[in-house]
Amino acid sequence: MTRVYRILRKPYSKKPFDGEGAYRFGGRWSSPGVRLAYAAEHLSLAIVEYFVHTDPEDPPKDLVVVTADVPDSVSRISIAARQLPPDWRQVPAPPALAAIGDEFVQREHAAIRRVPSVLAPSESNWLIDPRHPAFARIRVNPAETFHCDSRFFR
C-alpha cells in the first residue's frame, strides 16, 4: 500500500481525485479535456508542488491535505527522467509532456502513471486516472486542515 498526497483548497476537497482541475485547465502532464488527478508520493513534495504555483501576496487560507491509499494491486507504470525530452523541466512545459499524459489516459493500460517531479526529479508525482476501473480500489481519506507556515511567503 502506498499513500499519496494532495494539497488543495477546501472547496475542491469533496472530490479531490476527480481530475476536474486538469480537465478544465490542463497541466504539465495533460491537456485540457483530459481527466487526471495529480498527487505526490510525499507530503513535502505535495507542499512544494502546490506552493510553487501560489501567489505570495495572496496565499490561500483554506488549504487542506487529502491522502489516498493505493493498494499495491492497482496497476501503475513509470517513466524515468532519462526517457523524457531534454527540455522536460522547462517552464512552461513542452507540449510533449501533455501528450504523454493524454496517451496514458487514452490507452487505459494502468490506473497510475508515476512521473518525475520537475522540482525534485528524484521524487515522483502520481498521475491518477479517475476513470480507470482500478480507481475504485483506491481509498481516498477525509481532508485535513493544512496550516501553512508563513515563512513560505517571505
Q: Using a pLDDT cut of 90, give the percent of the chain over it.
A: 85
Strand, helix or coil for residue 100: helix
**Residue 143 DSSP label:** P
Domains identified in the chain, total number: 1
- The CATH code of the domain that includes 50 is 3.90.175
Residue 149's Cβ-count burial label (10 Å; 0-12, 13-18, 19+) is exposed
Return all residues near 53 (Cβ < 8 A) that are at least 6 apart: none
Q: Quick: pLDDT tens for 12-27.
A: 999 999 999 999 999 9
Band of residue 72 on the pLDDT scale cut at 50, 70, 90: very high
Return all residues near 33 (Cβ < 8 A) that are at least 6 apart: 23, 26
Band of residue 54 on the pLDDT scale cut at 50, 70, 90: confident
CA distance 76 to 55: 33
What ranges make up the beta strands (E) of the chain?
2-9, 37-40, 63-70, 76-78, 112-116, 124-128, 139-140, 144-145
Segments forming the whole domain that contains residue 128: 2-153
Q: What is the pLDDT of residue 154?
A: 65
Mean pLDDT of 119-137: 96
Mean pLDDT of 34-62: 89
Q: What phi and psi, each to the nearest 5 degrees, are found at residue 63?
A: -80, 150
Residue closest to 153 by CA, chosen among 37, 19, 61: 61
Band of residue 153 on the pLDDT scale cut at 50, 70, 90: low
Residue type at 104? Answer: F
CA distance 23 to 126: 16
* DSSP H or E stretch at residue 91: none
Q: What is the pTM of this model?
A: 0.91
Q: What is the pLDDT of residue 108?
A: 87
Residue 45's Cβ-count burial label (10 Å; 0-12, 13-18, 19+) is buried
